């Protein structure tokens, strides 16, 4: 070969030039394919069932398809997903499987499945690399830290790539987000909770004492009445029925009175607790702060709303608007920070706004409603106690009258029994005297 090249140098030179020209032309015509054509051994079958729950889709659609498709030759793995209105079955085949032949087998197997009425026709899709058109790109900027680089990526790079033809969506991954940490004073929270608990427990303890005292008096009264009935049972048989009826009415009236008084005390305790809770909110000026925040947001919206919108910033109209639109709230806070109001922006958090909104718009109206209901119930209970007291006076009068009659009858019975004993003794004495006279 070396002798041939020495003898014919011009032929070798021409051959080298031709090879270089062919190589250059081939290189210029070559196209770069970042996503080569690859055959992925996966098939996806989607079947719809409008109005069906995931459980019904699993029973009517997913399970029958799994049973029919799982026995196809070459199937390596079967994965299914049941959702509302549709079911998905993914088939994984062996690497050397002919996907065209597998697609025919799957279609034949689906034709043998008996789906319920209302199910749609199964759709079969072959998974390919063209379905995963995704590109990842890294961003670097000399002289900028990670925070500045994140801002640059979101505000410059991301909008620029989104404007390019063929780009569906762009997302930034790996950046940092500004966060605000709000630490509450646990000691102040504990003090407020302790005050509320102390007042509530004190009211409940007083109500419990009154209930216990009333029950003790009732038990004592019942015991006294039972002793009186037992003592007068033998001597007052004719008046026992009237005394029992009067005693029953009096006991029922006292029990009813005590029950209403107990309920009244409990309601008053609840009323005091609610008033104490409302006073705490008033002392802390929760409603005033809430109104000031709403007025501030409304004024900002009125003065700077149009200017902020030109910067794609929406100023919340109220606390409720800020809670309903957290994304707009975050944009508004960033805008405040850029305007030099970083301290105010850090104070405006979604949790703080939700807390003050729930207190003013939910809890305080609940307290007012409960206090109004308790006021009505307390008035009704006090009226009922007055009515019971009035009735008890009449019952006490009747009871005293019956008791006096019973005592008079008992006295009469005692007097008659004494007389009977005296007469008996006299008769015995007379009999003894008669026997003595007969002996004489």
In a domain, 97, yes or no: yes
The predicted model gives 3-28 an average pLDDT of 84
Nearest to 270, CA basis, from 207, 212, 211: 207
* 245 lies in the same domain as 384: yes
Question: Is the pLDDT higher at 308 or at 191?
Answer: 191
Please say whether the beta carbons of 103 and 124 come within 8 A: yes
Task: In whole angstroms, give the CA distance from residue 341 to residue 346.
Answer: 9
Chain mean pLDDT for the chain: 78
Q: Residue 174 to residues 12, 146, 154: CA-CA distances in angstroms?
A: 57, 9, 11
Do 191 and 112 fall into the same domain? no
Joined tokens for residue 148: 């500045």
- Indicate whether 225 and 331 sit together in one domain: yes
Q: Look at residue 154 and tell me if it is in a domain.
A: no
d(CA 315, CA 368): 32
1 assigned to some structural domain: no
Is position 213 within any domain? yes
**Is the distance from CB of 367 to CB of 260 less than 8 angstroms?**
no
Whole-prediction pTM: 0.34
- Is residue 28 in a domain? no
Last residue of a domain, one of 99, 131, 163: 131
The total number of structural domains in the chain stands at 2
DSSP characters for 195-250?
HHHHHHHHHHHHHHHHHHHHHHHHHHHHHHHHHHHHHHTTT-TTTHHHHHHHHHHH
Same domain, 231 and 94: no
- Give the CATH number for residue 47: 3.30.70.1430
Q: Enter the tokens of residue 270.
A: 């609840």
Do 228 and 340 reside in the same domain of the chain?
A: yes
Residue 112, pLDDT > 60, answer: yes
Burial 111-147 (b: 16+ CB within 10 A, else e): eeeebeeebeebeeebbeeeeeeeeeeeeeeeeeeee
pLDDT in tens, 66-90: 999 999 988 999 999 999 899 999 9
Residues 110 and 243 in one domain: no
Q: In which band, very low, low, confident or very high, does the pLDDT at 354 lie, cut at 50, 70 and 90?
A: confident
Q: Tokens 């063209």 sit at which residue?
A: 130
Same domain, residue pair 400 and 252: yes
- Using CA atoms, how far apart are residues 201 and 279, in angstroms rounded to an integer? 17
- From 86, 109, 131, the end of a domain falls on 131
Q: Give domain status of residue 124, yes or no.
A: yes
89 and 195 together in one domain: no
Residue 127 and residue 198 in one domain: no
Q: Measuring CA to CA, which residue among 83, 80, 79 is closest to residue 56?
A: 83
Q: Residue 46: which domain range?
A: 39-131
Q: What is the pLDDT confidence band of residue 437, given thresholds at 50, 70 and 90?
A: very low
| Residues 103 and 91 sit within 8 Å (Cβ to Cβ) | no
Does a structural domain hold residue 437? no
For residue 110, name the pLDDT band (cuts at 50, 70, 90): very high
- State the pLDDT at residue 87: 93
Q: Are residues 226 and 338 in the same domain?
A: yes
Whether residue 196 is found in the same domain as residue 343: yes
Residue whose entry in the numeric block shows the structure tokens 């307290």:
367
Residue 317 inside a domain? The answer is yes
My answer on whether 98 and 193 are in the same domain is no
């Amino acid at each position: 070969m070396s002798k041939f090249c020495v003898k014919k140098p011009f032929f070798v030179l021409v051959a080298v030039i031709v090879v270089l020209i062919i190589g250059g032309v081939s290189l210029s015509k070559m196209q770069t394919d970042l996503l080569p054509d690859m055959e992925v051994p996966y098939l996806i079958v989607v079947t719809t069932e409008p109005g069906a729950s995931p459980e019904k889709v699993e029973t009517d659609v997913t399970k029958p398809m799994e049973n029919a498709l799982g026995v196809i030759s070459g199937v390596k793995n079967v994965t299914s997903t049941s959702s509302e209105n549709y079911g998905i079955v993914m088939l994984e085949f062996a690497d050397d499987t002919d996907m065209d032949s597998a697609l025919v087998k799957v279609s034949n197997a689906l034709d043998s499945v008996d789906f319920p009425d209302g199910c749609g026709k199964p759709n079969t899709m072959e998974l390919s690399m063209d379905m995963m058109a995704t590109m990842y790109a890294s961003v670097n900027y000399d002289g900028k830290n990670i925070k500045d680089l994140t801002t640059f990526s979101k505000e410059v790079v991301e909008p620029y790539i989104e404007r390019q033809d063929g780009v569906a969506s762009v997302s930034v991954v790996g950046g940092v987000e500004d966060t605000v940490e709000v630490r509450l004073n646990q000691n102040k929270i504990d003090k407020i909770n302790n005050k509320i608990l102390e007042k509530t427990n004190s009211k409940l303890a007083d109500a419990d004492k009154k209930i216990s005292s009333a029950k003790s008096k009732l038990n004592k009264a019942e015991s006294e009445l039972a002793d009186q009935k037992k003592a007068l049972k033998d001597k007052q048989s004719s008046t026992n029925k009237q005394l029992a009826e009067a005693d029953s009415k009096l006991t029922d009236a006292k029990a009813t009175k005590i029950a209403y008084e107990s309920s009244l005390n409990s309601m008053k305790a609840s009323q005091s607790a609610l008033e104490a809770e409302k006073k705490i909110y008033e002392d802390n000026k929760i409603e005033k702060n809430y109104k000031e925040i709403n007025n501030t947001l409304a004024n900002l919206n009125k003065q700077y709303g149009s200017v902020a919108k030109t910067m794609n910033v929406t100023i919340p109209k109220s606390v409720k608007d800020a809670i309903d639109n957290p994304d707009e709230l975050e944009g508004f806070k960033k805008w405040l920070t850029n305007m030099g109001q970083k301290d105010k922006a850090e104070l405006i958090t979604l949790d703080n706004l939700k807390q003050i909104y729930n207190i003013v718009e939910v809890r305080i109206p609940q307290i007012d409603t409960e206090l109004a209901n308790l006021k009505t119930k307390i008035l009704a209970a006090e009226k009922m106690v007055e009515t019971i007291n009035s009735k008890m006076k009449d019952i006490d009068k009747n009871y005293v009258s019956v008791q006096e009659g019973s005592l008079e009858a008992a006295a009469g019975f005692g007097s008659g029994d004494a007389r009977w004993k005296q007469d008996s003794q006299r008769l015995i004495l007379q009999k003894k005297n008669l026997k003595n006279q007969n002996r004489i």
